[in-house]
Each structure stands twice: as structure tokens, then as C-alpha cells.
Amino acid sequence: MSTGAATAKKQKLSVPFDYNKYIRKNKLPHIWCPGCGHGIVLKSLLRAIDKSGLTKDQICMVSGIGCSSRTPGYVDFNTMHTLHGRALSYATGVKLAKPELKIIVTTGDGDALAIGGNHFIHTCRRNIDMTILVYSNAIYGMTGGQFSPTTPQGSMSTTSRYGNIEPSFDCCELAKAAGATFVARGTAYHTQELERTLIEAVRHKGTAVVEILDSCPIYFGRQNKYKSASQMMEQIEKDGTIPAAQAEKLPPEEVKGKLLRGILHRVERPEYCEQYLKLVEKALGKGNE
Amino acid sequence: MAARKAKKLMQGNESCFEGAIYAGCRFYAGYPITPSTEIAEGLSRRLPQIGGKFIQMEDEIASIAAVVGASLAGLKSMTATSGPGFSLKQEGLGYACMAEVPCVIVNVMRGGPSTGYPTGPSQSDVMQAKWGTHGDHPVVALTPAYVQEIFSETVRAFNIAEKYRTPVIILYDEIVGHMREPIIIPEPGELEVIDREKPTCPPEDYLPYDRRLEVPPLAAFGEGYRFHVTGLNHKDDGFPTNDSKTIEEGVKRLIRKIDNNRESIWKNDGYYLDDAEVVVFAYGSTARSARRSVRMAREKGIKAGLFRPLTIWPFPDKALKEAVKKARGVIVPEMNLGQIVLEVERNCPGMAVTGIHRVDGEPINPKQILDAIEKYR
């Protein structure tokens, strides 16, 4: 019975999809390198948006600086490419000024968790309604391959020539601890699962963080002796992860060293803009001076 | 007979946020910092009462970012800060210049460098206002000196920001910020309030950075014009470019839109300038001391005058040159170790220009300026 439902769901998702509806075709070709997963993530995102029922005018996509932050330039929404690390702050301004807009932020591991770390935790704490996609490829790609807060310890990069001595962040644990009300992890390898996760993330009212494991074969792969982009995807995204639901049923030794995929945390908590409306009622109740 | 309008005793920082509300400001994002905090405190109370939005952000950088985001969503937006906070906002200020997003940034100047003297006055951020953010960019900065004037200059700051799609900085020192003076709140309609021009063309024809126009109209997010904004050098449609001709023309247009409109952005006040043989060039609270010095000098028979810029950037070179035509010298008192005095020197070639400087957290008093004037007896 459950298998049947899953098959039906899968068939529904595999209907040919016309991405042209959402792409600014005259802005192509994109800047992403061959083997980069960003385009795959974007396709999952566009399919998820299509199923959300939102119009293009209702969506505002905001980004910071980096490879993933170039995403808004290619999509036909209200779009904003801002400063390194500050996407969430610009997005907060847009959202509070115009709460009817659906905010989607595309950011990277360096953008969101290093230079933008402070904005990341406080956005999660406020639980302001926005969907945050952290494309996590464990490297600064735009600047040519320096280690980031999600680079695994021991990895090589152009600024860790003897292996990275810093431990890495778990983006999802960080988001959850900071107060995000929806936290999930997907990969560029599991495209349909990512689509389903993003549908839920976009639908969520509050701060939704989705960390997306994504490979950078050019700058991470070459320095760390991966043979190809597809080998990286299989090793890091496929073999290095396990669905959270499946992990629960397995003995700990089989889960050890793997990152969990799927929706990891979902709670209801008052959303910031709604709280602001309540504050306005209070202010009006007190009357004008 | 119309009833005489009641005067209100108000602090400079209060006058600032009331002026902002009058101008139509409906979004404020800020971070607490002395001596500008009263602006945030006041707006956290006032904005929710009038349908506006107030948010205290996690830092100064986030504040200016939120302000720019809100402005792109269509609200007149402002932030306020002081010294170290103004340093932190520089990158965001540059983004607002480049992306041509109207907004107002108040800097209530305190002693520096670094954390310096948080509760002491200073005028040491005038050059930071002009050059603080990297790259060639236009800057408009206003320097009110009276509590009433902070109100009207805040309105003017929003008007300039909206009209020219540019950030506008309001620079006043801690003395004016915390001083209480009676002011009259103007009636609605009494002061001009300008709103940004919005596009009327079909969305597919909209060019938010059209080089053929001095100031292209600015759509708001969510109103059908799905445009793109970036801090990168961009084409007329707002998308990044590496084309050297487009880059050069884009940056030059940014500068030109303020340069070509200097006459309408400049505002100066003069006191006994007509026959002045010695001109005091002073702004902010220092201009209040200077006014007194000029009056004292006149009582002693010395032909002194005061040139007081309300727009410090773009620098009022034309009016200054006119004001010093009959002068033998210019005196520039300022609470720093010599900033705007350099600009005055540059614009008064061959003339004796004397700076009076102070960085001990005390105001420059009229006697100090008078002593310098008396050398021209």
C-alpha cells in the first residue's frame, strides 16, 4: 500500500517540466563550472516553486556573494544579488516591508556560515518567514578554492595546504539551535527527494533552512583527489548520507559518519511578521500621543 | 486669526525621527549606539502607530542592509548610527550608491578614533562620509545645526534620496543631537515631500539603470516589474557586465546625477557675509559658536561673516568662492584635527585659511573663534 503511494508520487514528479517558464533565458549561459551541482539544485527548486502555486511576482529571491549567489540572476522573479554574507539582512528588510512576498534566499556555506554567520543565527532566532537554501560544497569556489566553515577537517584547499585543521560546522544543527522552525538536508544527487523537501520548505511559515550538499569538482575535487564530478557526488552525496527516517531504524554503527537527509526538524512557532502585526495592535491600543 | 502654533521642547534626535515620519519614512532598522540611540527608541514607539515598520537588527551591517531591502520593497527607509557604527555601514552605503536605492543614514558624530569618546561631540566623520566606502561614488551629506533644522533637513534628506535614487547622510554632532530646543512641527503640506518616481512603462521595457536617463524611475519589488539588483557593475537592465564601456558609463552616470544637480542639493546659510573681510566657515554646533563670535567681532568693528553649509557634500564650492570675494582670510573651526579645512583651502587658492581644531570632547567656544578673527582687525 505504502509502496504503491510512493510509486504514484514518483510518477507524478517525473512529468516533463518546462523550466523556461522561470528562467531568464537571455542571461544564459550561466557561470557555473562543468560538474557543479548548482544547476541541478536550481532545477529542483524551480519544480518545487511551480508546485507551491506562487506567482513569479510573489517571489523575491535574494542572495549574497559566491557561486550559489549568482542564482537570482537567472530566474524571472524579483531578484537581488547583495553583499557577501548579508543576503538574510537584505531579505529581512524586504520581507518586513512587504510581508506578502515569499522570500527565497540562495546562499553558500561561506556566505551563510562564515561572513554571514551572525545574520544566519539571528534570522533563525526571529523565525521570519523565508526559505534559505544553503548550497554547501565545502569550499569558496568563486575565489578559487579556499576552505570554508563546512570543509571537513583534514581537507586540502588553497589556504589549507597542509590539511584543514579547523573542525566544520553542522549547518542543520546550527540552524536548529538558533531557532529555525524548519530544518532539512538534501543533496544535488537526490534530485526528486530534494524537490519534495523544498516543496515543504517553501510551504513552511517561518524560517526554513535547507542545507544542500553539493559538489565543487573544480576547486574541492581536484585538491582532494576525487577522480570526477560524478565520483564526488556518489561518494559525498550518495554514500556519505542516509535518509533520517532510515537511520532511525539502523544500529548506530551503520549510521556513523553519515549525514542525515530529509526533514530533520519541524516545529510551529509564531512568525516574526505576524508577531509584528500583534505589536501594531498593541501600539494602536495605547493610542497616538 | 489662525491660532499660533504651539512650540514643543524637543531633543535633536527626537526632531530627527519626527522629521523622518513627516517625510514619509515607514521603515527603520538600527542597532543601539551612543549618541544616536534615541532615534531608534523613538521610532520603535512611533512607527507601529502609523503603519510603519521598526526592527532592531543584530548589528550595524544588517541594519543598513535591511534598510536597502525595505526601500526596494517600496518603503522610505532610514537607519541611524554613530562613529564606529558608521564605519561598519560603509560597505552597505556603497551598495546603496551602486544599486541606486534611496535611503537616509543618520550619523550623530562622537569622538574617535575607534570607540573613542562615545558621549563626547565630534565632527571627525565628515571625510568618512565622503570617502568611507570604496570606489568612486556620489555622496550627499547634510549638516544641520539647530533642533528645528534637524527636522527640516531630515525631510530634505529624504527628498534628495527619493529624487536622485541615492543614499543621503545626515551628519550632526552629539551636541545638537542631545540639545533640547523649542521647535514647531510643520503642518502636513507645509514642507515639500518628494516621493520617488516609479516606472509607467510595460514591465518588459523597464530598464532600472537606463543610462539615457539621469535618474531612472525605481519600481518596487512585488509590483509586476521583476527586475534585478546587484552591487556589481551592471548594464541598463541591472544585470552584471564586464563590458568596459558600460562599466565606465555606469559609474560616470552615478557621479553625474549628483554633480549635475548640485545647485538643487546645495543649501547654505550666511550671516554678515555681504561685506565680510574675514569669513568663518562652520557647520553643525560649531556654527552656533561661530555665529556668536561673528556678532562679537562686529560689535568690536571687525567685518566678520559666517558661511554655514547645510549641505557639506557635494561641497559648496561655488557659494564659498562668492562669499570670500571681499575677504582677506577664512577661519575654519571644526571638532577634528583638520578635515573640511582642506576642502576650503582647495577652493580658496591664495587666501589665508586658518583652522581651529579641537578633539578633547569639548565644543569650540566663541572666544576661541573670536581670537582668530581678531587677528584680522
Shortest distance between the Cα of B247 and any Cα of chain A, in A, equals 17
Residue B329: closest CA among B356, B309, B310: B356
The bridge status of strand B180-183 relative to strand B8-11 is antiparallel
pLDDT at A6 over 60: no
User: pLDDT averaged over chain B?
Assistant: 97
Q: Would you place residue A13 in the very low, low, confident or very high pLDDT band (cuts 50, 70, 90)?
A: low
pLDDT at A11 over 80: no
| pLDDT at residue A9, rounded to an integer | 54
For A14-33, how does the pLDDT look when each residue is reduced to its tens digit (9 = 90+)?
Answer: 568 999 999 999 999 999 99
Indicate yes or no: CB of B73 within 8 angstroms of CB of A98. Answer: yes
In total, the C-beta contacts within 8 angstroms joining chain A to chain B are: 135
pLDDT at A4 over 60: no
Shortest distance between the Cα of B54 and any Cα of chain A, in A, equals 9
CB nearest to B70's CB, from A27, A94, A284:
A94
Which among A94, A103, A280 is the top mutation candidate for probing chain B, defined by the most B β-carbons within 10 Å of its own β-carbon? Answer: A94
CB nearest to A89's CB, from B62, B75, B222:
B62
Indicate yes or no: CB of A119 within 8 angstroms of CB of B62. Answer: yes
Alpha-carbon span A189 to A187, nearest angstrom:
5
| pLDDT at residue A16, rounded to an integer | 85
* Cell numbers at A13, concatenated: 514528479
* B230-260: b (≥16 Cβ within 10 Å) or e: bbbbbbbbbbbbeeeebeeebbebbeebbee
Alpha-carbon span A176 to A178, nearest angstrom:
5
Question: For B103-130, what is the mean pLDDT?
Answer: 97
For B46-59, how does the pLDDT look when each residue is reduced to its tens digit (9 = 90+)?
Answer: 999 999 999 999 99
Amino acid in the structure at residue B19: G
Q: Would you place residue B3 in the very low, low, confident or very high pLDDT band (cuts 50, 70, 90)?
A: low
CB proximity under 8 Å: B 256-285 to A: none
Indicate yes or no: CB of B227 within 8 angstroms of CB of A62. Answer: no
CB nearest to B222's CB, from A89, A98, A119:
A98
| pLDDT at residue A2, rounded to an integer | 43
CB proximity under 8 Å: B 237-256 to A: 239-240
User: pLDDT averaged over chain A?
Assistant: 94
Alpha-carbon span B369 to B366, nearest angstrom:
5
Question: For B219-242, what is the mean pLDDT?
Answer: 98
Indicate yes or no: CB of B51 within 8 angstroms of CB of A280. Answer: yes
Q: What is the DSSP string of B206-229?
A: --TT-TTSSS-----TTSS---EE
For cell 570670500, name the residue.
Answer: B324
Residue B92: closest CA among B153, B31, B24, B19: B31
Of the CA atoms within 13 Å of residue A271, those in its CB half-sphere come to: 16
pLDDT at A80 over 50: yes
Q: Would you place residue A285 in the very low, low, confident or very high pLDDT band (cuts 50, 70, 90)?
A: confident
Question: Taking CA atoms, what residue in A is nearest to B98?
Answer: A82
Residue A138: closest CA among A171, A176, A185: A171
CB contact B85 to A (< 8 Å) = no
CB contact B58 to A (< 8 Å) = yes
CB contact A63 to B (< 8 Å) = no
Specify the 3-state DSSP secondary structure of B180. Answer: strand
Alpha-carbon span A194 to A191, nearest angstrom:
5
Q: Which residue ranges make up each domain of chain A?
A: 34-286
- Beta-sheet strand order (sheet of B278-281): B268-271, B304-309, B278-281, B329-334, B352-357
Q: What is the DSSP string of B258-313?
A: HHTTHHHH--EEEES-TT-SEEEE--THHHHHHHHHHHHHHHTT--EEEEEESEEE
Find residue A208's DSSP bridge partners: A131, A182
Q: Count other Cβ atoms within 10 Å, centred on residue A269.
A: 13
**Looking at beta carbons, which residues of chain A come within 8 Å of B53?**
96-97, 276
**Looking at beta carbons, which residues of chain A come within 8 Å of B29?**
92-93
Residue A92: closest CA among A61, A128, A49, A47: A128
CATH 3.10.20.740, applies to A34-286: no
**Looking at beta carbons, which residues of chain B come within 8 Å of A276?**
48, 53
CB contact B61 to A (< 8 Å) = yes
Give the percent of chain A with pLDDT over 90.
93
CB contact A28 to B (< 8 Å) = no
Shortest distance between the Cα of A257 and any Cα of chain B, in A, equals 34
| pLDDT at residue B198, rounded to an integer | 98
User: How would you class A111 by CB atoms within 10 Å of its CB: exposed for 0-12, middle for 13-18, buried for 19 or more?
Assistant: buried
CA angle A82, A36, A146 (to 5 degrees): 65
**Looking at beta carbons, which residues of chain A come within 8 Å of B65?**
82-83, 86, 89-90, 92-93
Q: Is the dihedral of CA B336, B340, B341, B342 positive or negative?
A: positive
CB nearest to B69's CB, from A76, A90, A280:
A90
Indicate yes or no: CB of B65 within 8 angstroms of CB of A79. Answer: no
Cβ contact B21:B50 at 8 Å: yes
Shortest distance between the Cα of A31 and any Cα of chain B, in A, equals 12
Question: Taking CA atoms, what residue in B is nearest to A22?
Answer: B226
pLDDT at A288 over 50: no
For A221-261, how does the pLDDT look when each residue is reduced to its tens digit (9 = 90+)?
Answer: 999 999 999 999 999 999 999 999 999 999 999 999 999 99
Give the range among A12-21, B114-123, B204-213, B344-353 with minimum mean pLDDT. A12-21
For B90-109, how does the pLDDT look when each residue is reduced to its tens digit (9 = 90+)?
Answer: 999 999 999 999 999 999 99
| pLDDT at residue B181, rounded to an integer | 98
Domains located in chain B, CATH noted: 8-183 (3.40.50.970), 269-374 (3.40.50.920)
For B303-323, how does the pLDDT look when each residue is reduced to its tens digit (9 = 90+)?
Answer: 999 999 999 999 999 999 999
Cis peptide before B314, with omega less than 30 degrees from 0? yes
Name the phi and psi angles at B323, rounded to 5: -70, -25
| pLDDT at residue B6, rounded to an integer | 84
Alpha-carbon span B86 to B80, nearest angstrom:
9
Q: Would you place residue A289 in the very low, low, confident or very high pLDDT band (cuts 50, 70, 90)?
A: very low
| pLDDT at residue B5, rounded to an integer | 78
pLDDT at A118 over 60: yes
Shortest distance between the Cα of B370 and any Cα of chain A, in A, equals 44
Of the CA atoms within 13 Å of residue B1, those in its CB half-sphere come to: 3
Question: For A41-61, what is the mean pLDDT?
Answer: 98
- DSSP type of residue B243: -
CB contact A98 to B (< 8 Å) = yes
